[in-house]
Structure 1
Amino acid sequence: MNPPSQPRPNRARTHVRVASGDERRRVAVPRRSTKGPLEADIDDPLADHTHIDIPRTASQRVLSPSLSDATSAASPLSPQDGSGTLQDMPPKEFSFLQDPSAYHVLPATTIPPPFLNPPTLPSINTPIPSLLESGHYRLAAIAAARALVASASPTDFDALFHLLHIRLACLCLISEHALAAQESKILGDLNSGFYRHPLTDAHLVPWDLRLLTVRLAALGYGEWRKGIMGYYELARECRENISKADSVAEKTLWKARLRDCGIRVANVLVEMGELEGAGRHLGTLATADGKTDSQEAREVLIMEALVWLRVGDVRAARRCLLAATSISSSLLDSSLQALIHIADSEYPEAVNCWQALHEQHPDDAMISQNLAVSLLYTGRISEARKLLTELTDTSPPFHSMIFNLSTIYELCTEKNRDKKVALAEKMAGRKGDGTVGWEIGNAEFKL
């Protein structure tokens, strides 16, 4: 009798996991929802107080003050920013940032023909700081891409990030947000260890650039919630650095950055259309530090009031204005009061308020424009047109002013296109002073 056959051992295939050499491709593991001592910090503007359903200038070394609308709040570079204190790091290649195919030719179809070849247009070889100071952001974006590809060393991460920041910020300033979002993808996952100092674990990418890429990532993938998650991740880093700060100045810096992340979350909620959520969120920020009479609290209250006006909740807007009155300026409070009249469809009262402010501040372009809009609502179109036309001669042009004047042209004449083109030629012939962007797009002229 044959002995029973022994079971044959299973020959399992062995799978070897090969680690990727490019750490930028690794996916960051989401942080678990845990409670700890950092969650109870009263200085945290992102604390979950309520249920909630994105250059003022960048650092002087990175961007000029003229980029303030596209960058975050002012803050000096610290060791966590990738500044010169990290030059002791072993050489690391960032040559992937110098790939020419990552940077696109800027379309010229979005701007009126008079802006393509005006007599005052500077040369492309003009230094980048001069282009930024004069408001020529399109040329600055082109020059930054050229310098990024050809001039900078692959190991000089400080210069590479500096040029990339200029490139992306300038694209946003000329309303090429989709293009900027696409080009920002070259950075990959900024939470990867690839972007950390191997000895100190400090982040190599400047803080302002990281803020910008969070919003661009949300734009690029069409997911606004991705932007909110990105800002919360940066806020977590702020809280960690607050707890580890060795000096009062450093702690103040990270608290300011934490508050800025909170305001940017509200901005994303507004862009998502979640206006009520944005209003409730801003309501938690005004008292996040326990002080209701500070200038920071007043700024947040004004933001909240504007959000409630967009919602149509005039009562909530009045409440915010009343809370901010103790630390207010008469100009801003009177302006908000006039806006509340407009929200209530009380246009004659709004005209009276703006007219009184215009007499006190005849050189304030914001007051003049709002007075013109209020006059338009009351049917006094000729007065509104005269006021806006004078404004184009005495004030640097801004987008809403050009848009409103173009709208009045459409209401006044069937040959409004000729008026718009003439206005574009006038704006293209001016010399940029850097107070606003020199270039104005087709959308503002309604062409």
Structure 2
Amino acid sequence: MASHTRFNSTDERRRIAIPRDVDDDPLAALSAQNAPSAISRIRSPPRPSHSPAPHSRLTSPPPPDQPLLKDFSFLQDPAAYHVLPASAVPPPFLNAPNIPSVASPIDTLLLSGHYRLAAIAAARNLVSSTPATDYTTLFHLLHIRLACLCLINEHALAAQEARVFGDLNSSFYYRDEGDAGARGHLVPWELRLLVVRLAALGYGEWRKGVMGYYELARECREAFAHAEDTAEKEVWRVRLRDCGVRVANVLVEMGDLEGAGRHLAGLHADGDEAQDVRLMETLVWLRLGDIAAARRCLASASASSSESTAILDGTLDALIHLADGSYAAAVSAFSTLHTTFPSDAMVAQNLAVCLLYTGRIAEARTLLQDLVGESQPFHSLVFNLSTIYELCTERNRDSKMGLAGKMAARKGDGSVGWEMSNADFKL
């Protein structure tokens, strides 16, 4: 794969593009006479209250009375955006009668879990319906596009399309009012985090992800030092801890589990945040196979007695039995949890997996099939049920396609993505 090359800050519009025509997407057919107005197509869910950057001298956008007239037309090149392949999607999802129109408002598509259509709609609005100087809308649409690609497991395409930004550390992405202390980054914080991850994915160099997160962490510390009130300081403190957790995630993806465990052990946090970090560390040691370290972390994380913590602690304790090869003890632990929390899908699925390990395939199949009918499906649930179909019958493809048809017939409520891939059903 090509090595990473930073773009010269004096040549901001030279971007790597892949020749594609977004209108060729088979799911995006939209006749001209039915095309919605630009306003209706740009609508998207209101941004969460925690999403906008605080009014810091390092991150705040220019006030409304000081418009920024930079030209971001390079983000609107249709050649920079791919046609989304449909070959990895089971036919029932492509032919489902309840698929909304790509002309629907983006917020409707997102809230119903139709991320593929939301990605297509975002790209269309990006290239055709937004002024080149409206960087707020352009960045918002591009964020939707990249995030939705990740949600439908098109990470490689997202990594390629994220290259349209070039070097986000370039001076082009900052505003400068004449005072270096007043410079602020124009790209929203959450989008910058996503671009760092996609940069590592796109180049296959995880160290670039680690370096990118450390650069953002440095900015967090600088912004914290310049923050003018307690609330703003808290925002940057939380962001700094989040960068630390993301570094651990990259280390796991690199295969450096021991390094990830040591990194998480060194993260400073208090209260619920400390508990979250210790639980993450427990999972890392479990994956590494260090049961003793996992037990120590779990013990240090078990200070709270809330319901959610009871589920997490009980699940991790059962997983420790499973990792230790004590399948009967794991079944007993998950059975107790399932009795206490009968509506928790994660507990039910883990119980089914443990039943499978102990040879109780019929019970596992019944449990997973009931779970499919009672809760919103998720990828590991569908994958595990498809595995059981393979163990139970030679005509497992028919069972898998029937399951896919059942999943495609449901009406998405946005709690999980509506579309699933061939890989989920092991097709």
Given the two structures, how large is their TM-score scaled by the length of structure 2? 0.87
The one-letter code matched in structure 2 to 1:263 is: V
Counterparts of residues 346-425 of structure 1 (less than 5 Å): 346-425=326-405
Distance 1:337 1:432, change over 3 A: same
Q: Equivalences for 1:199-238 in 2 at 5 Å? A: 199=177, 200-238=182-220
Structure 2 distance, partners of 1:405, 1:259, is: 37
Contact 1:75 1:253 in 2 (8 A): no
Q: Which whole-Å CA distance do the structure 1 matches of 2:9 and 2:318 have between them?
A: 60
Q: 2:287 is matched with which residue: 304, 310, 318?
A: 310
1:331 aligned onto 2:311: yes
- How far 1:89 moved relative to its partner? 4.1
Question: CA offsets, 1:244-274, max 9 Å, x none?
Answer: 1111111111111100000000000011111
Query: Are the counterparts in 1 of residues 361 and 388 from structure 2 also a CA contact under 8 Å?
Result: yes
Aligned equivalents of 1:283, 1:20: Cα separation in 2: 39
1:7-26 → structure 2 map (5 Å cutoff): 21-23=10-12
CA distance in structure 1 between the partners assigned to 2:127 and 2:289 by the alignment: 49
What SS class does the counterpart of residue 175 from structure 2 fall into?
Answer: coil
Change in Cα spacing, 1:254 to 1:62, as seen in structure 2 (3 Å) is: farther
Q: Distance in 1 between matches of 2:229 and 2:106?
A: 35
Tell me if structure 2 keeps the 8 A contact 1:24–1:192: no
Pairwise mapping of residues 70-85 of structure 1 onto structure 2 (< 5 A)? 74-79=50-55, 80-81=58-59, 83=61, 85=63
- In 1, the alpha carbon distance for the partners of 2:395 and 2:343 equals 31
Residue 251 in structure 1 maps to residue 227 in structure 2: no
Label 1:402 to 1:395 Cα distance change in 2 as closer, same or farther (>3 A).
same
Q: What is the CA-CA distance between 1:331 and the residue it aligns to? A: 1.9
Alpha-carbon separation, structure 1, partners of 2:340 and 2:141: 43
Gaps of 5+ in 1: 1-18, 27-60
- 1:186 corresponds to which of 129, 144, 164: 164
CA contact (8 A) 2:61 2:185 kept: no
**Is structure 2 residue 420 aligned with structure 1 residue 444?**
no
TM-score (norm 1): 0.83
Cα deviation code 1:216-252 (max 9, x no counterpart): 0011111000000000000000010011111111111
Secondary structure at 2:185's aligned position in 1?
coil
Distance 1:345 1:296 in 2: 31
Partners of 1:62 and 1:208 lie apart in 2 by 16
1:386 deviation in Å? 0.3
Deviation at 1:435, TM superposition (A): 0.6
Q: Does residue 302 of structure 2 align to residue 322 of structure 1?
A: no
Structure 2 residue 139 is the aligned partner of structure 1 residue 161: yes
Q: Which residue type is aligned with residue 364 of structure 1?
A: D
- RMSD of Structure 2 on Structure 1 (CA): 2.0
Task: Mark the CA change 1:64 to 1:406 in structure 2 (over 3 Å): closer, same or farther.
Answer: farther
| Contact 2:62–2:68, Cα closer than 8 Å, also in 1 | no
Q: How far, CA to CA, are the matches of 2:365 and 2:209 in structure 1? A: 40
Structure of higher RCO (CA pairs closer than 8 Å, 6+ residues apart): 1
Runs of 4 or more, structure 1, over 6 Å off, are none
What one-letter code is carried by the residue in structure 1 that aligns with 2:402? A
119-128 or 81-90, which deviates more:
81-90
Q: CA deviation at 1:64?
A: 6.5
Instruction: Give SS of 1:326's match.
Output: coil
Q: Percent identity?
A: 64
